[in-house]
A and B are shown apart, each in its own frame.
Chain A
């Protein structure tokens, strides 16, 4: 059996690593992959079913799952290039590239209190979607949401774990004194923000 450690890897790396291991088998055999989230288990299971491999999965402990694939005699080597492997919940090639833009810690105008509750709800609901955006951009008042003290950190980290790119404007972090308080994602600049927005197929601005 070939053992694949994909703990800490974001989609589609677990599928890519497993496919590479299956190619190494050069015929029949078993591949065991360790992952740290249920989405990865579902992606691997889907891939195995599509290719006709036997597959079992089990949760070993919180945050640790084992997926075992059995490749039978007569299975033809898979010729799909690793970079073309797609995931259950991230956009596949040919699907719209959606970018979410968060320019405020509140959703809508009117009551600030209600707006904060709505924005928390939006980010929670975004985590529940089957199809996720490729990138979420945070700027101006939205920059606070990726920083220490944000009530949405858990949801944004969950999105990042599922392969969503999280970018926060560096100028905004600096302006609000939050540069050292960024807790999820990376710092970006206006050129990247501009590029992400102009190249998106769909921009979602709550």
Chain B
């Protein structure tokens, strides 16, 4: 079994919003990457943003600045 590590997972209600997050973060060199939403989470969209677990404050501020609407943010071992 592959070893799991804690990570911040941000979910969105639409794929469009998830892909907007990816473009936004890449343009600003913000940490993280797009992944399929982990099966432990119920979310509106099947794409989620995975980032280091200590990036919550940085990313929530960035998403507010970028008017990116997110659904939930939590730390999961994935």
Residues from chain A with a CB closer than 8 A to the CB of B58 are none
B3 and A117 within 8 A (CB): no
Q: Does B63 contact A (CB under 8 A)?
A: no
The stretch that binds B, out of A91-99, A123-131, A138-146, is A123-131
Determine the interface band of chain B, counting residues with CB < 8 A from chain A: 10 to 19
By the criterion CB–CB under 8 Å, are B36 and A121 in contact? Answer: yes
Please tell me if B1 contacts chain A, counting CB pairs below 8 Å.
Answer: yes
> A195 at the A/B interface (Cβ < 8 Å)?
no
Contact residues in B for A113 (Cβ distance below 8 Å)? 19
- Which residues of B line the A interface, CB within 8 A? 1-3, 15, 18-19, 22, 33-36, 46-47, 78
A interface residue numbers (CB < 8 A to B): 38-39, 42, 88-89, 113-114, 117, 120-121, 124-125, 128, 130
* Sampled A-B contacts (13; CB under 8 Å): A38-B2, A39-B2, A42-B3, A89-B2, A114-B15, A117-B18, A120-B34, A121-B35, A121-B36, A121-B46, A121-B47, A125-B35, A130-B1
